[in-house]
Structure 1
């Protein structure tokens, strides 16, 4: 009977570990340019590639791609230890916010394009 319990427990643990698995590859869903943002519906999720060219204060930055510039809001927890300079190509994913007379993107995910994953802390060779 103990053997059956052990087999059942192992099977149950295997099923739960498969349920927690998730896709971790590149996400190109709804990739748009800054110029296309005006045509995107409010609260729609978008992916953009470009550079953060200026800190505007607080959590607000100016993001630029080949088609133009837009203000983005990057909350502190979105950075996850990633350091970004104005010359770094990044990919951001967030929600479009059309307010009175301007459009901005509330960033929920940020990553350097082509960079190796960074861990929180530890030695990172540069």
Structure 2
């Protein structure tokens, strides 16, 4: 009788452990891809709503956007020209947005901020600048 009780208890303990592992959540049984294979947090897919300078120039002001490209020219104290594959835009980048980073014209960056109208033009007021 004790043997059967121990067998049943052992089977119950193993089956409850198996059932507990079938739920969702983070599974640590796979290795992450190397950093150089990471593509904006996605696995090689393109966002269908990718922001471009061409696209944001057609929108109204007060939109939060993130763009990838290059700062190609300094125009004044906080004024820069930013370029992506579709064009250029005037960008205001305060000292706090740099976060201590040194950026060269050859550095691919991600820039996030709010678009505003300045006359007939759209200008990007940057809040964050990150080297890619």
DSSP-derived class of the 1:78 partner: helix
Q: Which residue of 1 aligns with 2:128?
A: 109
Structure 2 residue 97 is matched with structure 1 residue 78 = yes
Contact map agreement 1:31 1:46 (CA 8 A) in 2: no
Q: 1:1-126, aligned counterparts within 5 Å?
A: 31-113=50-132
The unaligned stretches of length 5 or more in structure 1 are 1-24, 114-126
- Decide which structure has the larger Cα Rg and report it: 2
Shift of residue 31 of structure 1? 4.3
TM-score normalised by length of structure 1: 0.64
* Pairwise CA RMSD: 1.7
Question: What secondary structure sits across from 2:75 in the alignment?
Answer: strand
TM-score, with normalisation over the residues of structure 2?
A: 0.61
Matched residue pairs, number? 87
After TM superposition, give the deviation of residue 102 of structure 1 in Å: 1.3
* Deviation at residue 40 of structure 1 after TM alignment: 2.4
In the TM superposition, residue 101 of structure 1 has moved relative to its aligned partner by 1.9
**1:36 aligned counterpart, secondary structure:** helix
